[in-house]
Every structure is written in C-alpha cells, then in structure tokens.
C-alpha cells in the first residue's frame, strides 16, 4: 500500500490508499467464472493493476471488449519487446498477428514472467475475442493489423528523426487511442467528434512518449540487446551515443536532453484535453482521464531529474490513489493538469536550452485549463504541504487521544 515513512509525509493520501486497496480487492472478487474471461481478467490485473481497476468501472459488455483488446495488444507488444527472438522469426508473427487472434490453437512462447504466461496460454484470449460482438471484433482486428505492420517496420528501422518518433508512437499507442474510440462508438455510449482521429492519436502519443522517457534506463539495459526510441535528432545534439547519458560526466547534457524530450511530449496535451472533454459516459471518461493525468504527473516528476538515468522515477502510489479517488469531472482534469503544469514550471531552469519553449507550452496548457475549468473553486492536491501538515497534526492528536484512553483504561483496572 505504501511505505510507512511515505504515508507519514503525506498523511492525506492514507484514506485514498485504503479506498484503492478495497477497490482492487473488490475487482479481484468480480472476476467472471467463465474460464476464458477469468484468465483474461486475472492476467489483466497482473500486467496492469491500475488499468484493470479503471476498466472495472465500465459496463460488462464494454469492459470485456476493452479487456480483450488490451491483452491482444499487450501480447503483440510482448513479441516486439522480446529482443531474444530473432528478427526473421519476429517479423512474420507481427504482420500476421491480426489473423492469429481468430485461431484458438495459436500461441508463441516469448516474454518473461506474467507475459510468458499470457503468450503460452493465448488461446484463452482468442476464445474470449471470438465471443465479442462483431463490431468490437472488427475494431480490434483493424487496429491489431495496423499496429503489427507498424511494429514490423520499426524492427528494421532506427528512430532517427522526430517524425520517425511520432510515427513509431502512432503505431505503438496512437492506434490504441483510435481503437478505443472505435470500441466506444461500437458500444453506442459515445459519439465521434469531427477531430476524433487526430485527438485520439494524440492521447496515445502522449502516453507512449511519457513511457519512453521514464523507461530510459530499463530500455537501455535490456538484455540481450537494448531497444531505444529516443530520436537521434534530439539526443544527437548532446552526446555521440545514447547510452552515454548513463555516465556521471554527462549528467548535465543528459538532463538537458531529457527536458527537450518532455517539452516535445507537452505538444499533445491540448489535444488530450479536447479528447477527454468530448466524452459523455462517466465511466468511460474516468477510464481515459486517469492514465492521462498520471502521464502529465510523471512528466512533471521526470523533468530536470537526473534520477531518470540512475533508477526508477514514478508517481507515489498514494498520489495515484488520490487521483483515482478525485477524478470525476472534466473540471477535476483541468485542475490537476494545471497543478502539474505549475509543478513542472517551477522546475524549469532559465539556462536550459529549451526553457523558453517549455515555459510557453506550459503557459498554453494552463490557459486552456483556466479558460475551461472552474479552478478557483478547488484546492490543489498535487503539492499542498499545508494541507498535509494539517492532516498530519489531526492524525497525531487522534493517535495521542487513543493512547491516553488506553492508558487510562489500564490504570483503572
């Protein structure tokens, strides 16, 4: 649930953490009895607890479709990510993956831990896919086909330019945004807006770029061979080889490059906010909003932070719990995006080569939030030290009261 020291520093996160723990336990108890769906939901919880929780809020039919869609793309991604699989074996699997999902006997052993289980027992996912309505199947097949072809293209191609970077992120995640929009439309719970394709793609690019940034060390240390998607057009300004950022003597250049990567990702925020604002169904809205908020929060944490090149950088579990608990409306989204933009803005060094561009993008984001959200009626919870101290004092007083009552009771005996 979180370390005691972290909870003591952020006592206002204790209640959301407890609520999150209860919600996760409840979700686990709601796993369907049907064997194929049972496997899918159990596996979903193992590969992504946070995503598993947010889709549990969806109606049964839509929830099943999104669960299966996620696992199919996770399996496809597992094939792409496994650097131990020879390229000549990997390419035809990626290209034909959209056909394999119709084959109840197909499986391919690759990946590690829970991902290997997913691949070895993929027949459960295929069987669940074949039980979905035709509209869901068509949307999933189309996206799987396009994503597999795109991944195959970049197996043999380096990410050299920023255009290459955007294209790869489109195949890896932009298509996920498009696919989810199609699934939502097939459910008849959402209507597509004129700019849905552009905005849905941007939501995927924003999430993917955030993951690529924060996963630098994990990806560069991948065994037997690293796979990196930072574009040479950006990192080549700072070092000769991308792995040079791991060296202590390159810390300043590493952080400057990191800041440019974060600044690039911020391009997509306005489209993400437009996409979220167009959603009508509360459960769909929450399931889409939470990952976007976690992404902007992660970027704020990564910005100007050399730890990205030294270890793991991620949001506190308690803060994520608070985000899940308090994200109900679009006003909440505008508020927290504004909060994290302010947090990121406070970290900008005016001597950074991209400081002006970064600050301009953050001001644009804050203006969108101010113009559309009711920010003056809410309190920030991203970085509210005074509130945390007040809650801590209240908890301390209550704890002392309990101790005093306990001592008095024992004394009376």
3-class SS letters over 301-313: HHCCCHHHHCCCC
pLDDT of residue 377: 60
pLDDT tens for residues 360-386? 999 999 999 999 977 756 656 665 444
pLDDT tens for residues 63-101? 999 999 999 999 999 999 898 899 999 999 999 999 999
Percent of the chain exceeding pLDDT 90 equals: 71
171/164 Cα distance (integer angstroms): 11
Tokens of 8: 């003591």
pLDDT tens for residues 123-182? 999 999 999 999 999 999 999 999 999 999 999 889 999 999 999 999 999 999 999 999
256/394 Cα distance (integer angstroms): 42
Mean per-residue pLDDT for 395-410?
Answer: 61
Nearest in space to 73 (alpha carbons), one of 207, 223, 196:
207
Sequence-ordered alpha helix ranges (H) in 60-160: 60-81, 87-100, 113-120, 122-130, 134-155
């Amino acid at each position: 649930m979180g370390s005691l020291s972290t909870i003591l520093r952020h006592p206002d996160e204790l209640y959301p953490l407890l609520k999150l723990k209860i919600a996760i336990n409840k979700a686990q108890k709601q796993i369907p009895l049907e064997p194929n769906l049972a496997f899918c939901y159990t596996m979903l919880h193992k590969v992504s607890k946070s995503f598993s929780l947010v889709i549990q809020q969806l109606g049964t039919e839509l929830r099943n479709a999104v669960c299966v869609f996620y696992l199919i793309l996770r399996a496809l991604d597992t094939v792409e990510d496994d650097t131990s699989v020879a390229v000549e074996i990997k390419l035809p699997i990626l290209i034909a993956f959209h056909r394999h999902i119709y084959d109840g006997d197909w499986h391919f052993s690759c990946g590690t831990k829970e991902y290997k289980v997913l691949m070895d027992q993929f027949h459960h996912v295929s069987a669940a896919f074949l039980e979905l309505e035709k509209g869901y199947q068509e949307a999933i097949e189309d996206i799987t086909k396009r994503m597999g072809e795109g991944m195959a293209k970049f197996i043999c191609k380096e990410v050299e330019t920023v255009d290459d970077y955007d294209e790869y992120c489109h195949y890896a995640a932009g298509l996920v945004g498009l696919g989810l929009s199609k699934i939502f439309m097939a459910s008849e719970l959402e209507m597509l807006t004129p700019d849905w394709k552009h905005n849905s793609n941007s939501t995927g690019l924003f999430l993917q770029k955030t993951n690529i940034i924060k996963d630098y060390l994990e990806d560069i240390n991948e065994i037997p061979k690293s796979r990196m998607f930072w574009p040479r057009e950006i990192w080549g300004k700072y070092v000769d080889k991308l792995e040079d950022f791991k060296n202590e003597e390159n810390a300043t250049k590493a952080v400057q490059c990191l800041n440019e990567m974060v600044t690039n990702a911020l391009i997509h925020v306005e489209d993400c906010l437009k996409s979220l604002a167009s959603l009508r169904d509360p459960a769909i809205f929450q399931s889409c909003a939470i990952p976007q908020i976690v992404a902007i929060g992660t970027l704020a944490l990564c910005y100007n932070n050399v730890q990205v090149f030294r270890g793991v950088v991620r949001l506190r579990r308690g803060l994520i719990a608070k985000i899940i608990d308090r994200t109900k409306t679009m006003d909440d989204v505008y508020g927290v995006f504004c909060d994290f933009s302010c947090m990121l803005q406070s970290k900008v060094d005016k001597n950074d080569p991209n400081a002006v561009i970064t600050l301009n993008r953050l001001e644009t984001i804050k203006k969108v939030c101010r113009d559309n959200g009711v920010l003056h009626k809410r309190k920030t919870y991203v970085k509210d030290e005074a509130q945390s101290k007040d809650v801590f004092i209240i908890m301390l007083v209550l704890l002392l009261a309990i101790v005093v009552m306990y001592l008095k009771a024992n004394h009376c005996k």
